Amino acid sequence: MNPLINRSGALVLGAALFFGLAGLGYQLGSAAVQVKAFERSVTVKGLSEHEYPADIVIWPVQFTVADNDLAGLYAQIEDGTGKVRAFLALNGIDPAEISVSAPEITDKSAQRYGDAGQAPFRFTATQTVTVYSPQIDPVRAAMGNLGELGKQGIALGGGDFQAAPEYLFTRLNAVKPQMIEEATRQAREVAEKFAADSQSSLGKIRKASQGQFSIEPRDTNNPHIKRVRVVSTVEYYLSD
């Protein structure tokens, strides 16, 4: 075979490979640039916050009695419980919303420590009558009238945390969709403003996450008003 022909064929094949590889490299480089540009993104947060009235109140009414005779102590507990029930009924509380727990009784003579011999009464008891009600306003009004029980000789407790009323908001599932939509819409508005300021176009959502809902009292003086909030985090693609 003619060596000149072999040499020419090799040159043609080498040129073809060179230009082919160069074209492939350009295409890959162009694709890499496009992918890199497509990966530009912005992460924003959107907040939804609203105030709602509580829909359940749990109100423990505590009172204490003391006696040297156990039978007399239980008689006082029964009498006091009856007066508390009557007071609540008089203030519009449904009897079905009232429950009575077992009394907590202390026998001072059985205590190992302390000067039990100086105690004026051997037995003391704390009784709790609990109201669990959706009637927030009537219950709050009754709280303001507790002095009436004091006038009847009921020694009310309430200085400790366990005797504090508790307000619940149980309608979270009803307001969730609206609040999530609001938080997501706010996040998009922030992203659109960022895109406009950076002379970019806002693309599709790359990633999104919904924060946990929080329910807290509006303030210490209004625990029956709840502040509900949620933060949504959304990442959007950006393009030129």
DSSP string across 207-220? EEEEPPPEEEESST
Structure tokens at 45: 């947060």
Cβ pair 157, 62 in contact under 8 A: yes
| 3-class state of residue 222 by DSSP | coil
> What CA–CA distance (Å, rounded) separates 215 from 239?
38
Position 60 pLDDT exceeds 70: yes
Percent of the chain with pLDDT over 90: 68
Q: Residue 240's pLDDT band (boundaries 50, 70, 90)? A: confident
- Return the pLDDT at 34: 41
127-156 exposure pattern, b = at least 16 Cβ within 10 A, e = fewer:
bbbebbbebbebbeebeeeeeebeeeebeb
Cβ pair 93, 126 in contact under 8 A: no
Distances (CA, A) of 6 to 14, 19, 59, 153: 12, 20, 102, 122
Residue 143: closest CA among 120, 114, 166, 177: 166
CA 76 to chain centroid, in Å, comes to 41
Cβ pair 67, 76 in contact under 8 A: yes
> What CA–CA distance (Å, rounded) separates 214 from 231?
10
Q: Which of these ranges, 32-36, 48-52, 137-141, 228-232, has the smallest mean pLDDT?
A: 32-36
Q: Which of these ranges, 77-91, 115-129, 136-150, 204-218, has the smallest mean pLDDT?
A: 115-129
- In this prediction, residues 118-137 reach a mean pLDDT of 92
- Return the pLDDT at 118: 67
Query: CA angle at residue 52 from 50 to 58, to 5 degrees?
Result: 140
Architecture in CATH of 40-55+169-240:
2-Layer Sandwich (3.30)
- Return the pLDDT at 157: 80
- Return the pLDDT at 149: 94
* pTM over 0.85, yes/no: no
Position 100 pLDDT exceeds 50: yes
pLDDT digits (tens, 9 = 90+) for 7-31: 555 554 454 554 454 454 444 343 3
Cβ pair 135, 119 in contact under 8 A: no
CA 79 to chain centroid, in Å, comes to 41
CATH code that applies to domain 57-167 = 3.30.70
Extents of the domains making up the chain = 1-39, 40-55+169-240, 57-167
Query: In angstroms, how far apart are the furthest CA atoms of the chain?
Result: 131
- Return the pLDDT at 121: 87
